[in-house]
Chains A and B, each alone.
Chain A
Amino acid sequence: MRTVVLKTVAKVVVPAGILHGLRLLVVGHDAPGGGFAAGLVTALAVVLGWLAFGTPAGHRRWEFGVSLGLAIGVASGLGAVLLGRPFLTHAVSFVGPVKLVTSLFFDVGVFVVVVSATLAAVRTLWEAGS
């Protein structure tokens, strides 16, 4: 499957896909996107990369990624608990023109989980079949 065409296309599409995914993550608050979609786009880009260039050797422990993402999600809610506010309360503040939203951390957690889970599933099924 690893044709020259695929490799050539992938060299452009994979980084672009990953970047697009990250963009979706950041703009999610105001435009279509968000952690879930961003994660899926990024994961698909990586899968395309695997198709084109082959999977990297070595044993990956995807469960760490999954649990890290979940931990980020929970942690973003626990900050409020420490301040005596209800769990998962988020705050917005502006540093100059830059808007800082704590719920973005939550979205990052979603993103990490989605990427790890998708890649884990694809990779495992891939390897189980060959």
Chain B
Amino acid sequence: MDFLLLGVPLVPALAAPCAAACRRAAWLVALGGCGLVLVTLLLAAPPTVAGLSASAEVPWFPSLGVSYRLRADPLGTLFGLLVAGVGVLIVLYARSYLEHEPRQPAFFAYLLLFTGAMLGLVLADDLSTLYVFWEATSLASFFLIGFHDDRWDARQAAVRALVVTVVGGLAMLAGFVLLGLEAGTFRLSEMDPHRVQASPRYPWVLALVLAGAFTKSAQLPVHFWLPGAMVAPTPVSAYLHSATMVKAGVFLLVRLLPVLGGTELWRGWVLPVGMATFLFGAVVAVLQDDLKALLAYGTVSALGLATALAGTGTELGRDAAVLYLLNHAAYKGTLFLVAGAVEHETGTRNIPQLRGLARAMPVTTALAGASVFSLVALPGSGGFVAKDLAAKALGHGLEGWLWAGAVANAAFGTRFLQVFLGRGDVTARHEPAGLWAPALPLAVLCVLFGAWPPLPEAVVGWLGADHNVWPKFGLGKVAPAAAAVVGGVGAAWLVEQVPGRRRVRGWGGDHAFDALQRTLLRFAALLTHFTLTGRLRDYLVVVLGVAAVGAGLPLLSHGRWPEVGPISLEAAFVGMAACGVAATVLSRSLVSAVVALGAVGYSVVFLFMALRAPDVALTQMLVETVTLVLFLAVVTRLLTPDVPDRHPLAAVDLLAAVAVGAVAAALAFQATVGPPSQRLAEFFAEHARQAGGSNLVNLVLVDFRGLDTLGEITVLGVAALGVLALARRPR
């Protein structure tokens, strides 16, 4: 039974290709995939309420200690149900929303991939498993944001979102590895918080992991990818970029709270970032004119608050964060689906243009009302319960900020509802059931959370806590809420009057991202231009220079140097070769250079003879002759026999050449200082009879080291093939 758990993320992921293959029925496959996991999770849920956690694993990289391990604990199951449940609704919604989209199957395939990845993320009990699914959600998000890939803004938004989340992901990967090393295990449920927190590397671990969580949950200052992601089809915005994926960061904080949390460092880093994002998002949201941008900044704000709650590091904070996230999923999901319906029916999302939609879209208006009710946190709504618990968790110092946020939220809600009120030019055609029915369950939840005490209590109880979550109603609670509403409506009115608010929309940071990207590209181009000149001589100078310096340096300390002795016959031939080299370099025509080079070769032939190596000398002489013939054939018949003009850097070349030559000579001298080892020669001499001959050189070539010769004749053969092929190439 527990092994069924392992299939939960895999079923949607495997359904994805099927969805892509089924043209018409793609949505049915998607529905089936999400529905199947929903049912499975519902079956798995009851034991977790009783505190039993099912887990299952398959070894993945055993020698790394990595396994594919999932665990159905209360937190994971709760989020899993959220993911699968909202998934079902989104599939139904998307079917109507994308009615005329020819690439519907691809859309559902990506959506299924995402669902699988997200389920894996929330159920993972192994850091590697978690990371794998974490990046997989980013990828699915990339493809969904860029779904309309013929538009530049969609492509760029997709890239921004992916890069930002992957930057965080990479930091998190390093953090996870460090955490695993410090904790001695990659298994979340077995980590010992004391051991981890006592480690000197704890601050590094924490900082790196937080980088991942913050980028995913769009915290300041990298929040900008989330509003940018609104170019995605609205079901995607509702599902990934409000209800589920963006919550992964906060989810991770909650997940790691028992291991990494509860310290001053945790509180000091997480809480301020969360609160700042909360306020920033709330204020900027109100200033937006685009329905989805409004909602997106609202999401940024909500994620900030949830982060702040997790940042308290307490159990109460954790429960408040979870409750708040669930509640947010319900109302923000509804709002997105409503916004999508509005856009689908009117063709625009521009708030100032939209008025009086209530007449044509009564059900949609009701849904919007219910969700705004929760958003503004009026008594009796889910939002009220969640905010109340949040206030308790944050403590007295921060209540004022919370209230300020509530005012902004009220203004935000007012601006959203304006769309339905009054009288406007843009009219909706009608409201198809496919665009409101899927939002209905979420809207009901918004209300139920605030109206039916057992629901929030069950959630908190499930997580294993026993605080009283049901707020006491009283003037002290209702009056600030009412004041916030009044303030919010006023603020919304004020915002409408501000002429310059459009400018605020650019406050995204996406321009900064693009500028950074451009700068990096320009820097890369410049650097490459200077390092790769495309000139062979530069490359040769580098290679030879490195070799000469590196091989020459050890000689300074270990080298042995020659004493000047009588000039021998050998030395004379070496001198002859040197003259040949000089002549080659100084020749003014290619033919004379070739002849001079030949002279070098024949000097070497004499040198070999002087050293009593007739075989080598014979071969060298023949090779020189053939080379000379070929060279002359090429030079006289194929090339224009001019020597190119002197290069301006000829002096550098000369210096490099002399240095390389000097080092090579010094090295050759080192090799001849000691007595030559006779081991091999003795062996060859002893075994010559056995090899059937007396010419050792030839025996080495054809027998003792025959394989080398086989290799060399292969080289020769290939060279010949190359010449033949060049002659035979198509012209």
Contacts and interface: CB of A to CB of B under 8 A. Distances in A.
Given A28-B695, A28-B698, A90-B692, A66 B710 contact: no
A66 B633 contact: no
A10 interface: no
B637 to A, nearest CB: 3
Contacts of A36: 619, 701
Interface in A22-68: 28-37, 40-41, 43-44, 47, 62-63, 66-67
A12 interface: no
A92 B625 contact: no
Given A31-B695, A44-B622, 12 more contacts: A32-B697, A33-B618, A34-B695, A35-B701, A43-B626, A63-B721, A90-B692, A110-B701, A121-B719, A126-B633, A128-B637, A129-B634
SS of A interface (majority): helix
B148 to A, nearest CB: 55
B690 A92 contact: yes
Nearest to B689: A92
Contacts of B702: 28, 34-35, 90, 103-104, 106-107, 110
A38 B699 CA distance: 15
Contacts of B717: 66-67, 69-70, 113, 116-117
Nearest to A113: B713
B691 interface: yes
B638 interface: yes
Interface in B691-729: 691-695, 697-699, 701-703, 706-707, 709-710, 713-714, 716-717, 719-721, 723-724, 726-727
A32 B699 CA distance: 11
A103 B692 contact: yes
Nearest to B707: A88
Nearest to B637: A129
A81 interface: no
A125 B634 contact: yes
Nearest to A102: B692
A128 B633 CA distance: 10
Contacts of A34: 615, 619, 695, 697-698, 701-702
Among A37, A41, A99, which residue has the most Cβ atoms of chain B within 10 A?
A37
B65 interface: no
Given A66-B720, A117-B716, A74 B710 contact: yes
Contacts of A35: 701-702
A27 to B, nearest CB: 8
Nearest to B616: A32
Nearest to A93: B692
Interface string A61-94: 0110011011001100100000000011010100
Contact of A125 (B622, B638, B690, B699): B638
B665 interface: no
Interface string A101-120: 10110110110011011101
A106 B706 contact: yes
B614 interface: yes
27 contacts: A29-B695, A32-B697, A33-B698, A34-B701, A37-B615, A37-B618, A41-B622, A44-B622, A63-B721, A66-B720, A69-B713, A88-B703, A88-B706, A88-B707, A104-B702, A106-B709, A106-B710, A107-B698, A110-B701, A113-B717, A117-B717, A118-B720, A120-B720, A122-B630, A125-B638, A128-B638, A129-B636
Contacts of B615: 32-34, 37
Nearest to B625: A44
Contacts of A107: 698, 702
A29 B694 contact: yes
Interface of A: 28-37, 40-41, 43-44, 47, 62-63, 66-67, 69-70, 73-74, 77, 87-88, 90, 92, 99, 101, 103-104, 106-107, 109-110, 113-114, 116-118, 120-122, 124-130
Nearest to A65: B720
Interface of B: 614-615, 618-619, 622-623, 625-626, 629-630, 633-634, 636-638, 690-695, 697-699, 701-703, 706-707, 709-710, 713-714, 716-717, 719-721, 723-724, 726-727
B307 to A, nearest CB: 68
Contacts of A74: 710
Contacts of A118: 626, 720
Contacts of A69: 713, 717
The 9 closest A-B pairs by CB, nearest first: A129-B637, A29-B693, A92-B692, A117-B720, A40-B622, A101-B692, A34-B698, A66-B717, A113-B713
A126 B727 CA distance: 11
Contacts of B633: 122, 125-126, 129
Given A107-B702, A128-B638, A120 B622 contact: no
A130 B634 CA distance: 11
A103 B682 CA distance: 21
B366 to A, nearest CB: 84
Contact of B713 (A28, A90, A110, A122): A110
A130 B691 CA distance: 48
Contacts of B707: 87-88
A77 B710 contact: yes
A87 B726 CA distance: 34
A84 B694 CA distance: 27
Given A44-B626, A126-B633, A120 B713 contact: no
Given A29-B692, A40-B622, A90-B703, A66 B721 contact: yes
A69 B710 CA distance: 10
A118 B633 CA distance: 13
A119 to B, nearest CB: 9
A88 B710 contact: yes
Contacts of A40: 619, 622-623, 625-626
Contacts of B695: 28-34
Contacts of A127: 727
Contacts of A120: 720, 723-724
A117 B717 CA distance: 6
A69 B726 CA distance: 21
Contacts of A125: 630, 633-634, 637-638, 723
A70 to B, nearest CB: 5
A36 B708 CA distance: 13
B691 A92 contact: yes
A30 B701 CA distance: 13
B713 A109 contact: yes
Nearest to B622: A40
A114 B630 CA distance: 14
B719 to A, nearest CB: 7
Contact of B716 (A62, A113, A126, A130): A113
A42 to B, nearest CB: 10
Contacts of B716: 113-114, 117
A100 to B, nearest CB: 8
A107 B691 CA distance: 13
B692 A99 contact: yes
Given A103-B706, A110-B709, A125-B638, A29 B720 contact: no
